[in-house]
Structure 1
Amino acid sequence: MQVASYLKLSVAVAVATIALKAGAWWLTGSVGLLSDALESLVNLAGATFALMMVTLAAQPADDEHPYGHHKAEYFSSGFEGVLILVASLAILWAAVERWINPQPLEQLGLGLGLSIVATVLNGGLAWAMLKKAREARSMALEGDARHLFTDVWTSVGVVVGLAAVQFTGLLWLDPLIAIAVALNILREAVGLLRRSAAGLMDHALEPDIQQRIEATLNEFAHSAIRFDHVTTRRAGARRFVDLHMHMPPSWSLGRAAALRANVEQALMSAVPGLRATIQLLPMDVEAVTPDAEDPT
């Protein structure tokens, strides 16, 4: 199943869970279940926007976007982070009001049953989506999956807390649960926004990937060949590495180009989805990059 198919399924499940959780809130009057339903509404908006961005990211490069549209996925996770942030503030507002003016809860058994069904749906989908996100290196799918996991733990907390309300009769537990839910999803929002910003700022590849690149280059390096100015970055599912390859000045262009092709192939085999840009230089020439120049 493709990334877009998972997101379409996420939209469908979000609609179903909104109906289940809204029904649970309507039956019980619990602000904890209301907070859970609001987060599912955010899930729907987030999954819809993620689907739009994944579709955009899959478009091929064009004249205006010669490097492709891969970074569109970071807009998706950032948008979802903002939605989660707004939802957490709304939940906090509702919880504080209910703390000040507590109200009795009704039909908790049926309401909790509906919430549990919705939680099982979200949990199964979130697990499958996160697994696919790691395989496809999709930031949009990962963001939606992590949001769903947040929703799952939110629902678990609400169910446990409302069960405690039912057994103890302590109504203040309901708004307390909602506050805990809000703080939990606020933490998730900050994490998503941080990861989105890192992607938009051309963050370097993961340390283990950089080590894999270095190990591959070491297979070709010897007294006549050396590599330097190795820089990496990530844009959505695409990975990039730029570097200089130095060789004897007596080599023909054909020989140098053939070796470069071998290095590029080895790098792409070692790191799936990697795009390598290798500049050829004589051994006795050191290139000066703009970043290395003195700005003064």
Structure 2
Amino acid sequence: MLKRELRVILVSLIVSFILTAAKFAAYFMTHSVAILSDALESIINVIAGGFACYSIYLAGQPKDANHPYGHGKVEFFSIGFEGAMIFIAGLLILFKAVQYFITPRVLHEMVNGLWVVGATTIANLFLGLYLLRSGKQLSSITISGNGQHIMTDVYSSVGLMVALAIIQFTGWNWLDPVVSVLMGSLILVKGYQLMRRSISGLMDETDMKTIDRIIDILVASRRENWIDVHNMRVQQYGNNYHMDCHVTLPYYLSLHEAHEEMKCIEQLVNKGFEGSEVEFFIHMDPCIPSCCHYCLKEACPVRGDAFRGKIDWTRANVLPNRKHG
């Protein structure tokens, strides 16, 4: 899988380098600040692609004594770095737009520039879709983040093409820096979103979608011995996850029987996260009399209270560190 991830990001790096060169050629041809804005953003594609190559390589290294959870968190650094670069590019674009408002420049060969931008936009569209699909298949936040950035580039380039066409047919050269301001603002927002995602990952912020996914897996295969689940926590390390939780079991199960129940949970969740590896730390709690009224085990030899209804496992009762009852 590591080789495939590296191959995907290398394709992105090579294509981005070629497209960046083409966009700068279009800028020198037209002197359009809007095209320059597009080219500056593409430089970030190249820089981020290079950093992503290293982060994917490092994330694929095996666990060691100094990194018992592996090296996967470097991917959060990768998307944070990419977000910071995008944010800086947005600021540079806004700065150049203000300069062009103050000192307008004559535009040249707009038709040729429009053709070049159109060709790079189509190439970027195919690249972005390829990266998003690959990122989803490989569960790689680095590749997915790179794909999201490329797609943002596509959207801004489409807007740029529309603006260039309007300028060509109307002669409204003042529209050039206006479009650049809009593009710069869009890029700033995208950079902030990637940095926000990076910080949340590094700070182990709970991913509620992942929690819901695990809950759905457990609910779909719920066994009568699984009386209660609580204190669930999930951390992501690149393509891997670390999950810990408390599971309440009948107190009279043997150690071997309890171990088999935990093993079943591990197999179910790993199957549901196919393509990733989920590492577990499950704490087994013995049941107590207050659990009887929601225990699903019909043939329980020690039941002390009548069954009154099961507890539905949701975020509200799976995440807190308390046994129900």
C-alpha change, 1:26 and 1:216, in structure 2 (3 Å) is closer
Q: Please tell me the residue identity of whatever aligns with 2:65.
A: D
Contact 1:199–1:236 (8 Å) recurs in 2: no
Consecutive unaligned residues in structure 1, runs of 5 or more: none
Residue number in structure 1 paired with 2:20: 18
Residue number in structure 2 paired with 1:75: 77
C-alpha change, 1:257 and 1:14, in structure 2 (3 Å) is same
Distance 2:15 2:224 in 1: 56
Contact 1:242–1:277 (8 Å) recurs in 2: yes
Residue number in structure 2 paired with 1:96: 98
Residue number in structure 1 paired with 2:300: none
Residue number in structure 2 paired with 1:27: 29
Contact 2:225–2:249 (8 Å) recurs in 1: no
Deviation at 1:129, TM superposition (A): 0.3
SS of structure 2 residue aligned to 1:191: helix
Tell me how many residue pairs correspond in the alignment. Answer: 288
Q: Confirm whether residue 157 of structure 1 aligns to residue 159 of structure 2.
A: yes
Question: Segments of 4+ in structure 1 off by > 4 A?
Answer: none
Deviation at 1:221, TM superposition (A): 4.3
Residue number in structure 2 paired with 1:40: 42
Q: Please tell me the residue identity of whatever aligns with 1:281.
A: D
Q: Please tell me the residue identity of whatever aligns with 1:122.
A: N
Residue number in structure 1 paired with 2:212: 211
SS of structure 2 residue aligned to 1:246: strand
Q: Please tell me the residue identity of whatever aligns with 1:217.
A: L
Distance 2:124 2:65 in 1: 40
**RMSD of Structure 2 on Structure 1 (CA):** 2.1
Distance 1:199 1:245 in 2: 26
Q: Please tell me the residue identity of whatever aligns with 2:175.
A: L
SS of structure 2 residue aligned to 1:278: strand
Residue number in structure 2 paired with 1:278: 282
Distance 1:19 1:220 in 2: 56
- Structure index of larger Rg: 2
**If the length of structure 1 is used for normalisation, what is the TM-score?**
0.91
Deviation at 1:224, TM superposition (A): 7.1
**If the length of structure 2 is used for normalisation, what is the TM-score?**
0.83
Deviations 1:148-167 (A, max 9, x none): 11111222122211111111
Residue number in structure 2 paired with 1:265: 267
Deviation at 1:223, TM superposition (A): 6.2
Deviation at 1:14, TM superposition (A): 1.3
Distance 2:196 2:54 in 1: 21
C-alpha change, 1:176 and 1:62, in structure 2 (3 Å) is same
Consecutive unaligned residues in structure 2, runs of 5 or more: 291-319
SS of structure 1 residue aligned to 2:65: coil
Deviations 1:166-215 (A, max 9, x none): 111111111111111101111111111111111111122343x4334224
SS of structure 2 residue aligned to 1:66: coil
Q: Please tell me the residue identity of whatever aligns with 2:287.
A: M
Q: Confirm whether residue 188 of structure 1 aligns to residue 190 of structure 2.
A: yes
Distance 1:140 1:215 in 2: 26
C-alpha change, 1:184 and 1:246, in structure 2 (3 Å) is same
Equivalent runs, 1:128-139 vs 2, <5 Å = 128-139=130-141
SS of structure 2 residue aligned to 1:2: helix
C-alpha change, 1:29 and 1:191, in structure 2 (3 Å) is same
